[in-house]
Structures are given as structure tokens and as C-alpha cells.
Structure 1
Amino acid sequence: MPINFLKKIIQQEKTVSDDEYWMKKSPSKACVDYIESFYSFYDINSETEHWIFNDGFPAIILFPEKNNKVCIDIDGKENIIKSGWVDAGVIKKAYVRYIENFDYILIVRFRPECFYKLFKLNPSFFKSRNIASLADIDFDIELSNEIFAADSIEKKIDVIESYVKNLIPINTKTGLLNSAIELINQTKGQISVANVIREVGVNYKWLERNFSKHLGFTPKEYIQLQRFLSAYINMYNEPHDLLDIAITNGYYDYNHFLKEFKGFTGKTPIEYISKK
């Protein structure tokens, strides 16, 4: 999702800021194991551009109207996306540019171990693409029509929850995987795969197999995402000492952080900060 939204979600910043207004809504009890939360961001201005990043939690980003459009640039190639998009996996060098004003954007953030089962997607689906349109994942047409026919965010959420309740699989057991994900999140990626295995009480093959099966990437990749996101947020808030930010977040040195930053954004930290 756009990094300016994700940063607020991760930091749980106040809901009203100088430039943006946003709200969080927790899912109903029936959906809490499948949907992390709903987020709505208001007054989206056209001609603004934001880097897109996914922290391992698949998200569906929905526009107010079915015919609303944005331009998404993926490694230099522009794509016009209508209605909304889905992002998951490891996203690199992707930016969204709003080409019209939106009253709001609704984001449905799913728990990673459940998303692929709910929508019957192979976890490797996002290996070959960073971002997908709703049509790419065969998003239910009747559901789409019902969502965009709803005249308020609250009604759209009710439609989505009703649909998800009917999709919930029986006997989904991912307790140990949840524990591994939560541990990595709590440590902000400053933990080795070996320590995750020891703390959770599983072996390496089990951990790698279940990450690949339910999330679509390896434990090491998930750790890297959390570490990088933590470093990015530190850099965004205090951009003056990049070496200290790199070391504090578990990088060997500044060059290690620089290489990863360019891989995700296509820019150096200095270039990114200067255009922020």
C-alpha cells in the first residue's frame, strides 16, 4: 500500500494530522482471525505520488467508485489501475500517482496466513508480480458490484465482512505460524531465523514450508521486510544520521542498508529524502 498510509498504520499515529485524516475499524469477532483491520484514508489529492510497500500483510485497496483510476509505476512501466488493487509479497520499485481527487480510500488488511486460502490463490501468485488488479485475482464480480453500490464506508465494510464469513475455511490451524509472525513483528525484524525456530519450537523445514505455503515467501524475506520497514520509519522521522539508523536496525553498515533501500525504492536514501 502507499507508504504514507502504512507508516501511520504501523506507528498507530493519531487519526488527525496536518495533512491527512484517517480511521481504523476492527473487524467483527467472526472475521478477526482473517482480517487484521479496515482503514479509511480521506481527502486524497490528485497528482501526488507515493512509494508502495507491503510489510507481509496482504491488502486490498479500494477506491470510492468503480471507475476511479490511479497510475502505478512498477520499475519504470506505467499501469492504469481501475477500482482498486491488491498488493502482497515483496514489492520493489513501485509508485502510485493519483490522477484524480478521491474522497477516501478504503484498505482491507488481511492476516497473511489466511489471505491466499480465502481467495483461493497460490501463495506464489505474487512472486511474478508486485501488484495485481481486482480482475487479476478473479475478484468476485457480484461482490465488487455490491461494494461499489454501497453508499458509505460502513456499508462497504459490512458487505466485505459478510462475504469473508462465507469463505472462512474449516479447521484452519496456523497457531505456530502466527506465533512466528508475531515474534518477527515484535522484534521489528531484528531476529535470526534460527532464533525464531528456537523460540517457537519448530524446525527449519516446517517454518520455511509454512511460510511459503501461507505467505508466499521465506522466513528470511519476511524478517527483511520488517527490518527494512522499521529502518524506513526511523529514517522518515529522523533523516539526519543514516549510519546510526542502519546500525540500530540490525544492518551490518550503511552500505548494507543502502543496497536494500535502492532495491526497494530504486533510489538512494538521500535521493528519496530530497524528493519527500
Structure 2
Amino acid sequence: MNFKYIECVTENTLINNFYELNVDSTSIPLHSKVIPTAQCHIIYLKSEVPIETIFKNNKFNNSGLIVLGQSYKSYKLHAKAPYYNLGINLHPTGLYKLLKSDISKFTDKHVKLSEINLELFNLLSPLFEEQIDDCNHLAKKIEKQLLSLDLFENNNTRLVDEAIKLIYQKEGKINVEELLKQIPISQKHLELQFKKIVGLTPLKFIKLYKFLNLMKKYESKQASISQLIEYYSYYDLSHFSKDFNLFMNQKPTDYFKSDNEFLNNYLKE
């Protein structure tokens, strides 16, 4: 299994970064949890057998160009054959800017891009179907194409972008009340627009983003779990375990003693 991130050429509020994943026969069959990432994604999957993902009791068979909505809990991934995956990690408001529609309807769903927006599918599909021998070059082409589009932006997207910027700066160590002190918007309007534009409520997004940052720092061996629990202002181990169960559907003790090759690759910064 080979995984790498590809950074954007220019800083923007549409794409966070890209990733490339090659899963060879040594990792097949692959059964893994996938951690929620506080992002939506557009991904390209090339495999002889569709990749199965499961949210609760909902199953999705994925191949080609797929839109991954926000999720608040981990989901299951099953691969029966080697596959190639190139993904666009969108800024939390990015999918809304591209699709111009309520993003909450894609939460906990994986949907074919062709079924959502044929124009965007026709733009991206030829790029992904080229011979992929230089993923860095391909990522640059995709970034250039997407940033050249007439994106849907208004005062609401700008306010949500401002809120997300503050959440990023604080690594999730912020609450909704603190956001409202710095953003000229009512709590009701922020919650309504955040869910519509991002796919999660601001409270859920903050909690998830904080947890995700903690897990990335742990997998990158930047600190111990006890140090990170203190740094991210969890009251105690019990409070952390509760959030861990919420996001991962698993006890932390079970997770840390198991082999998580797929997650380990994704979480390393």
C-alpha cells in the first residue's frame, strides 16, 4: 500500500490538497475503518471490482468518479481487488461552491458524480481517464481547471469560510460562542448556513476537527495520547474515550492494539 499527499499550487478555499493511494495485492482483501475527515471529497477509483463502503446499514459500490459527503462517524471499507485512488480533498465549503446545492443531503453518502452534476463530471472525467503516470502533474491540471470555474460564493459562504479559518487556526480548540464573538452572524443563521454549506453543524465540525488533529499528531508520533488529551483540552481520559467511541465506533484500547494500515497512512501528516 502506497499513500501520499499532494499539495495545491496556490492557497485557496476550494481544495485543501490531493492524495494518491495504490493498494496492491499484498493488502487484499482490505477491510478497514475510515475516519471522518471534516472534508468532502471527489475521488477517482480504478478497480476491477467496485469498492464497497458501508455507513450503518447503507452500502455503496464505488468506482469511477465519486462524491464523498461529510461524515461524523467512521465507516467501513471493503476492497476485494487491488485498486488505484486519486482524491481531491475539498475545503469544507468547496463542494457547495462547485455544486451550488445543499451539501447536507450528501452527508454519510457516496454518490456517483455523474448523477449529481453532469457538467462537472464531463469536465473532470477526461482528466482522470488519461494515463496516470505523474499524479503531481495531474493534480495541478485538476486544480487549474477547478479554480477557473465560476464558483458559487456569496456573503454566507464568506462568513462560513471565516468561521472555518478560525477553527483551523485554533486546531478545533474553540467553541461556537467564541466564533460568534468574531463573526457578525446570529447563532441560528450560522448553524443553518454551516449545515447547508459544509454538511455538518458547526458544533459537530469543531468536535470532529479537534479529534482529527489529535489523531494525526498521534500517528505522526508528535506526542503521546496523554499529552494530546491534555493539549486538546479533554477533561480526562473518560471524556476522550467517549468522543473516540462517537467518531470511531470503537474503544480506543481496541483501536490502538490493532493493525490499522489504511488509517495509519491517511493520518500521517
TM-score surpassing 0.5? yes
1:181: Cα distance to partner?
0.5
Partner of 1:220: 203
CA RMSD of aligned residues (A): 3.3
Q: Which stretches of structure 1, 4 residues or longer, exceed 4 Å deviation after superposition?
A: 138-141, 170-173, 237-244
Partner of 1:263: 246
Where in structure 2 are there 5+ consecutive unaligned residues? 260-269
Summarize the alignment of residues 1-276 of structure 1 with structure 2, pairs less than 5 Å apart.
Answer: 20-27=2-9, 32-44=12-24, 45-64=27-46, 69-75=50-56, 78-102=59-83, 104-127=84-107, 129-135=108-114, 137-140=116-119, 142-143=122-123, 145-152=125-132, 153=135, 154-155=137-138, 158=141, 161-162=144-145, 165-169=148-152, 174-237=157-220, 242-276=225-259
1:236-257 deviations in Å (ceiling 9; x for gaps): 4569965554333222222222
1:169-188 deviations in Å (ceiling 9; x for gaps): 36677333222111111212
1:40: Cα distance to partner?
2.2
Instruction: Return the alpha-carbon distance in structure 1 between the equivalents of residues 67 and 31 of structure 2.
Output: 18
Partner of 1:3: none
2:208–2:247 CA contact under 8 A, matched in 1: no
Instruction: Give TM-score, length-normalised by structure 2.
Output: 0.77
Q: Which has the higher contact order (CA 8 A, sep 6+)?
A: 2
Partner of 2:266: none
Instruction: Return the alpha-carbon distance in structure 2 between the equivalents of residues 170 and 265 of structure 1.
Output: 33
1:74-100 deviations in Å (ceiling 9; x for gaps): 336654322243223233230223322
Alignment coverage as a number of residue pairs = 253
Where in structure 1 are there 5+ consecutive unaligned residues? 1-18
Q: Percent identity?
A: 21
Instruction: Give TM-score, length-normalised by structure 1.
Output: 0.75
1:262–1:268 CA contact under 8 A, matched in 2: yes
1:122: Cα distance to partner?
1.5
1:139: Cα distance to partner?
4.9
Instruction: Return the alpha-carbon distance in structure 1 between the equivalents of residues 128 and 195 of structure 2.
Output: 33
Instruction: Return the alpha-carbon distance in structure 1 between the equivalents of residues 202 and 219 of structure 2.
Output: 26
